[in-house]
Amino acid sequence: MPKEAPPKVEKGFLSAESYLKDETKTLELIGDWEYYPGLLISPSELETLDTSREPHFFSVPGIWSDFFWNRGFLAGDGYATFSLDVKHGQKGVPLSLRVPEMETAYVLFVDGVRLASNGVVATSYQNGKPEYRPKIVDFFPKENQTSILLQISNYHHRKGGPAQTITLGKTSEIHHQYEFAILRDMLLAGSILFMGLYHLFLYWNRKKDPFTYWFALTCILVALRVFIAGNKYLVHIYPGLPWEVHLKLSYLSFFLITPIFTKYVYLLFKPYFSRRAYEILKYLGFAFCFIVLVTRSSFYTYLMVPFQVFTLMGAIYTFLVIVRAIRDSLPGAVIFLFSFVIFIASFINDSLVNNLIIHGPLTIHFGIFTMFFVQSVYIARNFSRGFVEAENLAIELSDKNQTLQRVQNQLTDLNERLETRVKDKTEELQGKLDQIGKDMRLAKSIIQSVTKLPELEPYLKVDILYKPIAEVGGDIFFVKRIQDFYYRFFLGDATGHGLQAALYSMMIQSEFERVSAVAMRPNDLLFYMNQHFYDKNADLQIYFPALVMDFDFHQKILRYAGGGVQNQIHLKKNGPTTMLENTGPIIGILEHYRYGILESKVESGDRIFLFTDGLFEELNESDGVQAWGDLLEVIQNTVTLPFEEVVPSIKTMLFQRMNKSQWKDDSTLIFIEIT
């Protein structure tokens, strides 16, 4: 059975009884609405209007804008009333209208009742106010026929009138379609944004391929445009955003795509892309953006058609560039052409829809998504080539192994001669191991001396659980009394164990003492230490997480900064448990990184727990978040215990939960109580 075609409005009347019997169907109110140009008529006035007047009709969606050369920049200015009677046969059934934005203010009446509006409809520029905010209007028809009256005015845009389509349907279906549209847009925007961030990360790690940076910017711009245009999610998130700002963002997010995407294509096909053509596309594209920034909407909205023509010309040139690359058998050019054609087809579709030449959905973000997907296929193909090369290398390696086997037989003879020398070297090595043992004991003594606690009374009580798995572990902590009322705690997790950890700990301790005198706040100390070890990384490659906590008892606050550490725990005596969250990356990995800082009030009875990940990670080695949650539960169970029993109880409960009697990694817990 053929599907029933949606009915259209004819001379201000729409008969849709049979079509709307299907509850899953919605109907776009397209066709000839009754039209009252230059009049703002209320529902009550419409009933008393002179019936001898010759009726006018207006094709919706459409615009009343005159030609530019007739009225200049006022071509879209004006106001009018549109009316429509819909025979739907749905008396008493909840119906809804999905009303997009109009150009650029409207008031909607349903059966004589004002149900929706955007902006302020007026007969003059001084009183009119534009607004874009798509809405869903719910109503209960009291009869089988509903009258719809729409007042529209425009003084701020090149297009004036009902340029968008109103959709009628059952309330549940209209809301379902709207929610589906939101889900679709969010999935598309999220996918495109993720691809942009992924390519941005690729550029961050491999700056030899700068085209990935411009590709990432294009992705991010398209994702932002989905939020700004379409269903106007940006206006829903920030209801107070001025209309002019919103429209500028909408135009800029579109205009910036051309120069930025041109940069990406230019870098990808540099031998074939004329630098002069690239600069023309770049500077003209940015010129369009500059005009949008410095002019009003009544001017720059006229740039849309010239910009679309300009972009189409750039696309044609790019198409010729890719064809030349294909002719020279450039790897990846064919697959790029395929994705580029889809992208340009979606761009042309959007241009025709926006200029009311055709009626249909906007598809530019679908085109961008397809292009990125095809690029991913191209990257996967490169990986496949890598595997083929690896197989060839494996065959070559097999041949080399046979050669090595012959060499090994020769070495066997030499090994027999070396046994005597090995015995001598073993005795020599034992002597050196004895010396290393002495060095380790000395390193342990030094570490114990630098981690000795200063006098903390009368402000603090501290108990420490420190369990290295070797003579000297990677965990290192310092407690420094800056002034009589100011104390600083430092906790870090250096790489390795034994003598290596001891050396690294000495370097950290030395740098801590050096910068503590000049670092007024914890985040400043992490900044200086990060910069120092970043500069050393070229040779030593020292990376480690660390945290700094300052107590200022003049102000009764603690200040905290963490670099690459897990959340620490603050049990307030008269309040909830709060988390001291990480404020930056691990030390030594990013140059000139400014760490954040947290501040919190403290009072007598507050308890703070600082610890390294070795303390709790064995609680659940497959789920670090769950392991941390188990540790929090253990700590909260000690809230009623006296100070002296807290650390022993935590140790006992952790061993019970791990079903072990010792840790397999360095473990440190610093328990602080405000006295």
List, as one string, the DSSP characters of 43-68.
HHHHHTS-TTSPPEEEEES---PPPH
Residue 32 within any structural domain of the chain = yes
pLDDT at 332: 76
Q: Are residues 166 and 197 located together in one domain of the fold?
A: no
423 inside domain: no
Q: Calculate helix-pair angle for 304-327, 333-354, nearest 10 degrees.
A: 160
Query: pLDDT category, 299, cuts 50, 70, 90?
Result: confident
Residue-wise pLDDT tens digits, 472-483? 777 889 899 988
Average of per-residue pLDDT values in the chain: 84
- Whether 435 has a pLDDT exceeding 60, the answer reads no
79 or 406, higher pLDDT: 79
Band of pLDDT at residue 380, cut at 50, 70 and 90: very low
Predicted pLDDT of residue 82: 95
Which residues neighbour 69 within 8 Å (Cβ) at sequence distance 6 or greater?
A: none
Indicate whether 136 and 276 sit together in one domain: no
Q: Which residues have a Cβ under 8 Å from the Cβ of 125 and sit 6 or more positions away? A: 77, 155
Q: Give the span between the Cα atoms of 460 and 465, in whole angstroms.
A: 17
pLDDT of residue 623: 87
Residue 53's nearest CA partner among 42, 65, 37 is: 37
Lookup result for tokens 């690239």:
278
What type of residue is 619?
Answer: L
DSSP-assigned beta bridge partners for residue 27: 168
Total residues found in the chain within this entry? 675
Same domain, 156 and 180: no
**CA atoms of 108 and 627, how far apart (whole Å):** 57
Task: Report whether pLDDT(383) > 50.
Answer: no
| Cis bond upstream, residue 239 (ω within 30) | no
pLDDT at res. 216: 84
Indicate if 625 and 483 belong to the same structural domain.
yes
The rounded Cα 583 to chain-centroid distance in angstroms is: 18
Binned at pLDDT 50, 70 and 90, residue 605 comes out as very high
What average pLDDT score do residues 52-78 get? 78
- The predicted structure's pLDDT at residue 166: 92
130 contact partners, CB below 8 Å, separation of at least 6: 104, 105, 119, 154, 155, 156, 157, 243, 297
Q: What is the DSSP letter of 6?
A: P
167, 240: one domain:
no
- 633 confidence band (pLDDT: 50, 70, 90): very high
CATH classification of the domain holding 216: 1.20.1070
Say which residue, 436 or 202, is predicted with more confidence: 202
Q: What are the backbone dihedrals phi and psi of residue 608, each rounded to the nearest 5 degrees, phi first? A: -125, 135
Q: Kindly state the average pLDDT of the residues 568-579.
A: 90
Identify the CATH number of the domain in which residue 150 sits. Answer: 2.60.120.260
Cβ atoms of 462 and 672 within 8 Å: the answer is yes
Where does 330-474 have alpha helices with state H? 333-354, 364-450
623 lies in which domain range? 446-674
Q: Which residues have C-beta within 8 Å of that of residue 459, sequence separation ≥ 6?
A: 485, 487, 551, 553, 674, 675
Q: How confident is the model at residue 438 (pLDDT cuts 50, 70, 90)?
A: low
Q: What is the mean pLDDT of residues 316-342?
A: 85
Nearest to 607 by CA among 655, 574, 629: 574
Domain count, the chain: 3
In a domain, residue 570? The reply is: yes
Minimum mean pLDDT among 565-569, 582-586, 617-621: which range? Answer: 617-621
**126 and 248, same domain (yes or no):** no
Residues 144 and 111 reside in one and the same domain: yes
Q: What is the mean pLDDT of residues 523-533?
A: 92
What pLDDT does residue 140 have?
Answer: 92
Q: Which pLDDT band holds residue 441 (cuts at 50, 70, 90)? A: low
Choosing from 364, 383, 402, the residue where a domain stops is: 383
Q: Predicted confidence band at 379 (pLDDT cuts at 50, 70, 90)?
A: low
- Burial class, 219, CB count within 10 angstroms (exposed 0-12 / middle 13-18 / buried 19+): buried
Looking at the structure, do residues 517 and 639 belong to the same domain, yes or no? Answer: yes
Mean pLDDT across 443-469: 81
Q: Which residue has the higher pLDDT, 446 or 565?
A: 565
* Domain presence at residue 398: no
Q: Do 552 and 486 touch, CB atoms closer than 8 A?
A: yes
The pLDDT of residue 443 is 59
Please report the pLDDT score of residue 136 as a whole number. 92
Q: Residue 510 belongs to a domain with what CATH number?
A: 3.60.40.10
Residue 153 pLDDT more than 90? Answer: yes
> Does the pLDDT of residue 625 top 70, yes or no?
yes
Task: Flag whether pLDDT at 4 surpasses 80.
Answer: no
Between residues 323 and 419, the one the model is more confident about: 323
> Stretch 366-393: mean pLDDT, rounded?
65
Q: Does 203 share its domain with 98?
A: no
Residue 425 lies in a domain: no
β-pairing, 78-87 vs 13-15, is parallel
Does residue 343 have a pLDDT over 70? Answer: yes
pLDDT of residue 334 exceeding 90: no
Which of the four pLDDT bands, split at 50, 70 and 90, describes residue 163? confident
The answer, yes or no, to whether residue 359 has pLDDT greater than 70, is no
| Domain termination residue (choose one: 336, 358, 383) | 383
- Give the percent of the chain with pLDDT over 90: 34
Same domain, 179 and 260: yes
Is this structure's pTM higher than 0.85? no
Residues 473-515 have pLDDT tens digits of: 778 898 999 888 999 999 998 876 666 777 788 888 888 988 9
Q: What is the DSSP string of 448-477?
A: HHHT-----TTTEEEEEEEE-SSSS-SEEE
Burial of 14 (0-12, 13-18, 19+ CB in 10 A): buried
Predicted confidence at residue 1, as pLDDT, reads: 47
- Whether the pLDDT of residue 5 is over 70: the answer is yes
Same domain? For 137 and 202 the reply is no
State residue 276's pLDDT score: 93
Residue 519 burial class via C-beta count within 10 angstroms: exposed 0-12, middle 13-18, buried 19 and up: buried
pLDDT above 70 (res 51): no
Q: 251 with 353, same domain?
A: yes
Q: H or E stretch including 632?
A: helix 624-636
Other Cβ atoms less than 10 A from the Cβ of 63: the count is 20
Q: Between residues 315 and 542, which one has the greater pLDDT?
A: 315
Single residue among 383, 412, 435 that ends a domain in this structure: 383
In this model, does residue 421 exceed pLDDT 90? no
- Give the whole-angstrom CA distance, residue 283 versus residue 656: 68
Residue with more model confidence, 311 or 75: 311
Mean pLDDT of 435-462: 73
Output the pLDDT for position 111: 92
